[in-house]
Amino acid sequence: MKKDTSIFQNLKEENRNRIYNTIREKKCISGPALIYELKLSRPTVTQNINELLEEGLICENGTIGNTGGRRARGYSISEMFQIAAGLDITRNHITVLLVNLNGEIIYEKRIRYPFSITDEYKKKLGELISEAMEEKAIHEEQMLGVGIAVPGLVTKDYRTIFYGKILDFEGMTAEEFGKYIPFPCRLYNDADAGGYAEISQNSELKDAFYISLSNNIGGSILIDHKVYHGEGQRSGEVGHMTLIPNGRECYCGKRGCFETYCNASILSDVCDGNLQDFFQKLEQGDRECMELWRDYLYYLSIAVNNVRMLFDCKVILGGYVGAYMSDYMHQIRTLARERNTFETNADFLQPCQVKREALALGSALPFIHEFWEKV
């Protein structure tokens, strides 16, 4: 008897979830359209709509249809019912953004603020979050949580950095980062966050390998819209793949890592750290920049081919350099194609679609997606 009740309860919850998420996906939909779309009975749909309206999860959003007769009321989700925040921590900058229940960025701020393991720094993170919430008039109970993208490897429970040579912050925990943030905090590896943002915002992608070409190089294996973490949360770390045996020295202590040939600083260093200036000079035909770029693409094409041979999936160029890649796809695809054993084109190689603040976005989105699942 008990079992029957729970089956009934599950079905009820499933219907409610399907109705909410269909309204979300369609942006605005009428009751009759929901009945048609989900093949559910009118009473089921009506009852759920009323409940969702009462709880404030959805709202009426004008009327739909003008084919004569009565116009149906349209429903949309209340996109500000809950929100999530994302922080991106790098050596010299902090990014904070807020994301609504449609997964859209509603607030974004990037400041120059060097990283340090001090109370002052932790206070700054707290201030940035409360400033953002104040500006968008967000109440505490609306906040689902704060995802923090870090240039390090993070334990499975999102709590602790277990490899963090870049900022020398090994052992630092989510609790420490969130000392002045009164919401659940989670840590995410930066490249995994970037990859997750990309696969979430690009509906055509299901599986992909995301290469994050920022001041450090990371990678993320994305299978069926999820990050594959590996046995020890170290998957996709292409930055430390040996590209050139006994090549350049890497901060990790080894030599010849891909990291040392294609991190974004290699390009921006010739322009006082300004990557935009590098690409401008490159466009103007600056000789030094052109030579640097030629070498950069050569090394990048080797890594891209290795990834393609290994995974046979789409390869996305992301991170700081990836954001500028659209204009140079022909060049990099030609090099990747020449190296490829099996294919005569390199259409598998794509520039990232999320050009700005992918890391903070990819750290906030998991909170939103979990909410969608449990409505």
Nearer residue to Zn ion within complex by CB, 252 or 313: 252
Contact call for residues 87 and 96 (beta carbons, < 8 A): yes
CB count in 10 Å sphere of residue 119:
11
Query: How many residues interact with Zn ion (rule CB under 5 A)?
Result: 5
- Smallest gap from residue 233 Cβ to Zn ion (A): 17
Q: Beta strands 143-150 and 83-89: pairing type?
A: parallel
- Smallest gap from residue 8 Cβ to Zn ion (A): 56
Cα separation, 148 vs 84, whole angstroms = 11
Nearer residue to Zn ion within complex by CB, 249 or 347: 249
Nearer residue to Zn ion within complex by CB, 254 or 337: 254
Give burial (CB, 10 Å; 0-12/13-18/19+) of 342: exposed
- Smallest gap from residue 152 Cβ to Zn ion (A): 14
- Smallest gap from residue 246 Cβ to Zn ion (A): 13
> If we measure between CA atoms, which residue out of 368, 365, 347, 309 comes closest to residue 149?
365
User: 273: which 2 tokens?
Assistant: 């750290």
Q: State the DSSP string of 243-301.
A: SSTT-SB-TTS-BSBTHHHH-THHHHGGGTT-HHHHHHHHHTT-HHHHHHHHHHHHHHH
Contacts of 252 (CB under 8 A, 6+ apart): 165, 240, 259
Which of 133, 174, 208, 240 lies at the binding interface for Zn ion (CB under 5 A)? Answer: 240
**Contact status: 336 vs Zn ion (CB under 5 A):** no
Cα within 13 Å of Cα(21), Cβ side: 15
Cα separation, 301 vs 309, whole angstroms = 12
**Contact status: 186 vs Zn ion (CB under 5 A):** no
Report the residue count for the chain.
375
Nearer residue to Zn ion within complex by CB, 23 or 213: 213
- Smallest gap from residue 259 Cβ to Zn ion (A): 5
- Smallest gap from residue 296 Cβ to Zn ion (A): 17
**Contact status: 349 vs Zn ion (CB under 5 A):** no
Which range, of 40-48, 72-80, 116-124, 237-245, touches Zn ion by CB under 5 A? Answer: 237-245
Nearer residue to Zn ion within complex by CB, 29 or 257: 257
Contact call for residues 207 and 224 (beta carbons, < 8 A): yes
Stretch 243-282 residues interacting with Zn ion (CB under 5 A): 250, 252, 254, 257
- Smallest gap from residue 338 Cβ to Zn ion (A): 26
- Smallest gap from residue 368 Cβ to Zn ion (A): 34
Nearer residue to Zn ion within complex by CB, 250 or 365: 250
Nearer residue to Zn ion within complex by CB, 23 or 250: 250
**Contact status: 358 vs Zn ion (CB under 5 A):** no
**Contact status: 299 vs Zn ion (CB under 5 A):** no
**Contact status: 241 vs Zn ion (CB under 5 A):** no
User: 153: which 2 tokens?
Assistant: 């490897």
Nearer residue to Zn ion within complex by CB, 83 or 257: 257
Cα separation, 139 vs 81, whole angstroms = 10
Nearer residue to Zn ion within complex by CB, 80 or 252: 252
Binding mask 3-22 for Zn ion (x = CB under 5 A): --------------------
- Smallest gap from residue 263 Cβ to Zn ion (A): 10
Cα separation, 58 vs 177, whole angstroms = 34
Question: Where along the sequence are the contacts to Zn ion (CB under 5 A)?
Answer: 240, 250, 252, 254, 257
